[in-house]
């Protein structure tokens, strides 16, 4: 048996909240452009205000809370990552560049060999 959690369909209230959040974002963007004759600070305030209202509305929905929990867990997991040292990074970069160089030479050589075989030997087209 699977231990996967079953996801149920969200309530229509959550869908309405998400729709209202999207409308708030659109209202903020529209407000930014409608207020084009006003000062930049007023236009920016309309945009930021719409975004803040949208986040506040979305936060109250199940999807919004799930997203916040996901973001918190992501930050927690990122803190567990062991980053390579500068020396390790330089060594791996050199290995990648070396491999790319070897592959480029190999593919160039293969292309030239196939070109000679195909055009000169098989088709008889001398250049």
pTM of the model: 0.49
Decide if pLDDT at 5 tops 70.
no
72/88 same-domain check: no
**4 belongs to a structural domain:** no
Average pLDDT over residues 11-29: 88
Torsion of CA 56, 62, 68, 70, to 10 degrees: -160
Closest CA to 55 of 11, 21, 14: 21
Give the domain extent around 34: 12-79
At 18 the pLDDT is 87
Residue 43: is it exposed, middle or buried by C-beta count within 10 angstroms (0-12/13-18/19+)?
middle
Give the total number of structural domains in the chain.
2
What is the per-residue pLDDT across 56-113, written as a single tens digit (0 to 9) for each?
988 888 888 888 899 999 999 999 999 899 999 999 999 999 999 999 999 999 999 9
On whether both 48 and 99 belong to a single domain, the answer is no
83-97 pLDDT tens trace = 899 999 999 999 999
SS3 7: coil
Scanning the chain, the segments in alpha helix (DSSP H) are 12-34, 40-59, 62-79, 86-115
Q: Are residues 92 and 64 located together in one domain of the fold?
A: no
> In terms of domains, do 64 and 18 share one?
yes
Q: In this structure, are 69 and 93 located in the same domain?
A: no
Residue 74 sits in the same domain as residue 95: no
Evaluate if residue 4 carries a pLDDT over 80: no
Q: What is the pLDDT of residue 60?
A: 87
User: 127 and 87 in one domain?
Assistant: yes
Rounded to 5 degrees, what angle do the CA atoms 17, 18, 24 make?
Answer: 90
Instruction: Look at residue 51 and tell me whether its pLDDT is greater than 80.
Output: yes
Nearest to 115 by CA among 126, 102, 103: 126
Q: Say yes or no: 63 and 96 in one domain.
A: no
- Check whether residue 63 and residue 88 sit in a common domain: no
Q: Are residues 75 and 87 in the same domain?
A: no
Give residue 15's pLDDT band: very low, low, confident or very high (50, 70, 90). Answer: confident
């Amino acid at each position: 048996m699977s231990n996967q959690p079953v996801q149920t369909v969200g309530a229509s209230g959550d869908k309405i909240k998400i729709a209202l959040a999207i409308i708030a974002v659109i209202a903020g963007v529209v407000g930014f452009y409608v207020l084009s004759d006003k000062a930049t600070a007023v236009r920016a305030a309309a945009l930021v205000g719409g975004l803040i209202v949208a986040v506040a509305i979305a936060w109250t929905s199940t999807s919004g809370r799930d997203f916040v929990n996901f973001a918190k867990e992501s930050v927690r997991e990122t803190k567990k990552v062991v980053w390579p040292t500068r020396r390790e990074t330089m060594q791996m970069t050199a290995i990648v560049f070396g491999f790319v160089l070897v592959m480029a030479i190999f593919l160039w050589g293969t292309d030239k060999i196939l070109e000679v075989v195909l055009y000169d030997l098989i088709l008889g087209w001398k250049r």
